[in-house]
Structure 1
Amino acid sequence: MMLKQVSSIGAMSFLMMLLLSYTIVRGQNNPNFITLNTKNGLSSNTVNTILQDHNGLVWFGTSDGLNKFDGTNFTVYTTKSGDSTSIPSNNISALLEDRRGRLWVGTNGAGLAYYDAKQNTFKSFVGEGIPNRNTPSMY
């Protein structure tokens, strides 16, 4: 009689654990993947570098501009001839966020820049120490 009772308790426990595991597994959300490309706002399908900043924004450095993605919309930054506050080149090769939260942008052909989020402008650095040519990596 004691063996049957232990066996019944074991079977009930096993059944409860099985039902609980099924409920937990079934209750998990399926991940939602989206494709980001030129059809939904990305400036180029050739992405050279990606960074998520401390605000949760995702930055894409492409062969045709810098793209900021807020989860819904893109903002595209491209070079504007004669505008020293625009990004210095459309060919972005590297992105880095420093300890102060500034976004640094390495370009192919136009040096280094950082993004001033308050002014929505770029400050470019070229010259001695930072040649006006390829900047392969900043880290």
Structure 2
Amino acid sequence: MASIFTKIINREIPAHIVAEDENHIAFLDINPLVIGHTLAVPKREVDYIYDLSDEEFVNLQLFAKKVAGAVKKAIPCKRIGEAVIGLEVPHTHIHLIPIKEMDDMNFSRPKLTPSQEELAEAAEKIKAAF
């Protein structure tokens, strides 16, 4: 069965997509830690990041680096934090999180529930920063 991320890739469910190339896609987390929290995902569905080929792994990181640059330009922050957890969705993904302080990357704290309008506004800012 396809992961929720594969359904986003296939445009079966909506998402706030901020970047895409032939092998990757980036979209906003709908329950972010902070506004601008973005996921960088390979289009090929692989559960565990270290099961990617070396080439896929490097290319995903390079894609994430480009996305992180746009997020940093668009969302006020000190830097972009990166996390790979991968337990909640069985499809490799990199969390790119605008951070002002360490606690901004605390996955134990309650997630935000932004409106679709807030997500759309953040997505447009990130897309414009490319």
TM-score above 0.5, yes or no? no
Structure with more contact order per residue of length (Cα contacts < 8 Å, sep ≥ 6): 2
Instruction: Compare CA radii of gyration and give the structure with the larger one.
Output: 1
Richer in strand (by share)? 1
Richer in helix (by share)? 2
In the superposition, the TM-score normalised over structure 1's length comes to: 0.28
